[in-house]
Amino acid sequence: MLQDNPFDVRAEEYDAWFDRFPNLYESELLAVRAILPPHKGRWAEIGVGSGRFASRLGIDVGVDPSEAMARLARARGVEVLAGCAEEIPLGEASVQAVFLITTVCFLSDLPRAFAEVRRVLERDGAVVVAFIPRDSRFGRLYRENADGDAFFSHAQLRSTDEVIETLAEAGFRVDRVLQTLTGDPATADARVEVPSSGSDRGSFVVVRGRGARAA
């Protein structure tokens, strides 16, 4: 969780990105939609932000530490609880899927966050993690320009291996990996890109994991 949260004072600026780059947004949305759990239950998004993904994907409840972002998400019809990934304000085994979409780069304790995700998931629940890999084209671009960016100056971009390994340590088995935004960042908003399997070329990777709670 960020100590000095730019999302509190620049929520509208962050949310405007989705309108400035509509095809990037739709490409990301398409990749997450393609990896949704097959059965709809009670779903939660941790780091729901302004609700751009939750409102389009049918996610029931969001969690976010920023009240300014939560107001935007609520305006899009998303129920939002105040909280963070390291201390999710949901009961044990209370949801059937948990989403973290462009959230893991803002977490200070990824193992603790994934352990919390497992706690709140039902026995055979799914976790969907969507992120910008550290060494992807967009990842390198964001890192090179981080000092001048209000949001990414606070980010710690993760590698795909780190995300998958940390999920495994929390007891999850990854069963699907998709990628999108595989081209040059300068032209990525020219069209909506259909996601493809793997994580070797994409600047937006979506990983789905499953884990059975111990008996």
**Stated pTM of the model:** 0.92
Q: What is the pLDDT of residues 38-74, one digit of tens each?
A: 889 999 999 999 999 999 999 999 999 999 999 999 9
Following DSSP, what letter does each residue of 119-162 receive, concatenated? Answer: HHEEEEEEEEEEE--TTSHHHHHHHHTGGG-TTGGG-----HHH
| Sequence spans of domains, the chain | 6-210
Contact 29, 101 (CB under 8 A): no
Domain 6-210, classified CATH 3.30.300.30, yes or no? no
Helix 110-120 × helix 160-169 angle, to 10°: 50
Q: What is the pLDDT of residues 131-152, one digit of tens each?
A: 999 999 999 998 887 676 666 6
Q: Look at residues 75, 72, 40 and name the one whose alpha carbon lies nearest to residue 57.
A: 40
pLDDT at 111 over 90: yes
Give the pLDDT score at 155: 81
Give the whole-angstrom CA distance, residue 110 versus residue 167.
9
